[in-house]
Amino acid sequence: MLTDTIFNEVETPAVLLDETRLMANLRAMQGLADRHGVALRPHAKTHKSLEIGRRQAGLGASGITVATVDEALVFLRDGFKSITVARPVVSSSKWDRLLTATKDRGTELRVVADSKEGVQVAGERAAAHGQAVGMFLKVDVGLHRCGLLPGDPRIGELAGTIHDHADLDFRGILSHAGHVYAAKSRADAAAVAEDERRAMVAVRDALLADGLPVPEVSVGATPAVLATERFEGITEIRPGNYVFLDLLPVRVGVARITDVALSVLATVISRNEGYFVTDAGSKTLTSDTGVHGMTGNQGFGLAYPALGFLDSDREMIVEKVSEEHGMVGRNGFDLSIGSKIRMVPVHSCPVANLARSYVVLTSDGIESWPVDAAGGSR
């Protein structure tokens, strides 16, 4: 049971993890994957934690997904044996760092590409290092960030180039339906997921018709995965945010606020007529009010007195942030200087990236886990 004494032990601002909720989220997603016969390869860009990655692997994850080379190196050096880098790598120096680190480790390295240049540099560096590299083609299913549109003829051309290259192993196709965060309901999210599934199956079928094997069809984005009603044709899911959750999937309707495992603890350091001013500003809570330009009406997070956490009758909004200050609308409440406030962020992933450690609330008290890959953006 959480008490004033426990929170008084924690210097603020601090990023809190509820171990019970965290493990429930990990087990629920692994259970979903197992029930539908798909591999779960969690995206570690959310948590950047070796401890959490090990727990995911222990529950049955097939490997880990990362966004950057720096993240890949952290997990690789800890002994993770299968790693997907889900952002195109087009720099020779980054390839050299990756391949030097994987040499003699027996690590399965898988990387995405969506261009001739990306495939070319991958092939050149793999050949130079004498190592085989697994490669996916990224398909744009609606986010319009990286990837080739499903009908683009370059998909077949690049797939053929990868398949025919002596040092590249064509693993299949990969997508990320990040635009699902704009969904207004679970039904909307399910429609995005089904559109993604159909697009990916159509691309797979076109490649198979051209005589190219497509071993894997990999999809991501937590809200889409949680809302998916059909998995036919999908071989792998890569959700990341599900480990912590936040106000974004809650707003979409695929999670409850009571499922959120990450929160920020802050101290009221000043107050005025309109706000409680806390010591958690944008350098802790971030200035993120959504993803991919999608915003809501919950400011920079929902706030509660620490011992009234998630009590809807005591809910406040973090209305403004500067670098080291967070301004919480008082909403008719009164808190004294030195009081602790606990906040649910809009988006947990950048909050985790800014932290250097997690304060973990366990059944026995408090532990500290490092954020091992924090700040790894290269």
Which alpha helices (DSSP H) does the chain contain, by range? 4-8, 19-36, 50-59, 69-77, 92-102, 116-129, 154-164, 186-209, 222-227, 247-252, 282-285, 348-354
Give residue 298's pLDDT. Answer: 83
Question: Within a domain: residue 249?
Answer: no
Could you tell me if 232 and 298 lie in one domain?
no
At 199, which CATH number? Answer: 3.20.20.10
User: What is residue 21's DSSP assignment?
Assistant: H
Could you tell me if 281 and 185 lie in one domain?
no
- Give CA–CA dist 256/48, Å, rounded: 23
Could you tell me if 212 and 338 lie in one domain?
no
Last residue of a domain, one of 217, 241, 265: 241
Residue 70: count of CB within 10 angstroms of its CB: 17
Give residue 297's pLDDT. Answer: 66
What are the tokens at 109?
């390295």
Name the residue with tokens 């079928």.
205
Residue type (1 letter), 43: H
Could you tell me if 237 and 280 lie in one domain?
no
Could you tell me if 272 and 298 lie in one domain?
yes
Residue 101: count of CB within 10 angstroms of its CB: 16
Last residue of a domain, one of 177, 211, 241: 241
Give residue 359's pLDDT. Answer: 98
Q: pTM for the whole thing?
A: 0.96
Q: Distances in Å between the alpha carbon of 352 and those of 16, 136, 148, 286, 327? A: 10, 28, 30, 10, 20
Could you tell me if 156 and 269 lie in one domain?
no
Closest CA to 280 of 301, 310, 309, 294: 301
Question: Within a domain: residue 375?
Answer: no
What are the tokens at 141?
């299913």
- If you write DSSP's letter for every residue of 271-334 in order, what string do you get? E-SSEEEES--HHHH-S-SEETTEE-SSTTEEEEEGGGTT-GGG-EEEEEE-SS-EEEE-TT--
Q: Please report, to the nearest 10 degrees, the dihedral formed by the alpha carbons of residues 235, 241, 242, 246 taken in order.
A: -150
Name the residue with tokens 């159509």.
202
> Can you list the residues of the chain whose pLDDT is less than 50?
none
Could you tell me if 93 and 209 lie in one domain?
yes
Count the domains in the chain.
Answer: 2
Could you tell me if 148 and 270 lie in one domain?
no
Taken as a whole, the chain contains a residue count of 378
Residue 225 lies in domain: 20-241
Name the residue with tokens 């635009």.
179
At 266, which CATH number? Answer: 2.40.37.20
Could you tell me if 351 and 220 lie in one domain?
no
Question: Within a domain: residue 210?
Answer: yes
Last residue of a domain, one of 212, 241, 270: 241
* Residue-wise pLDDT tens digits, 166-218: 999 999 999 999 999 999 999 999 999 999 999 999 999 999 999 999 999 99
Name the residue with tokens 């790598």.
89
Question: Within a domain: residue 167?
Answer: yes
Question: Within a domain: residue 200?
Answer: yes
End-to-end Cα spacing for the chain: 41
3-state helix, strand, coil in the chain (%, to 5): 40, 25, 35
Could you tell me if 152 and 129 lie in one domain?
yes
- Give CA–CA dist 277/269, Å, rounded: 6
Closest CA to 244 of 10, 56, 18, 13: 18
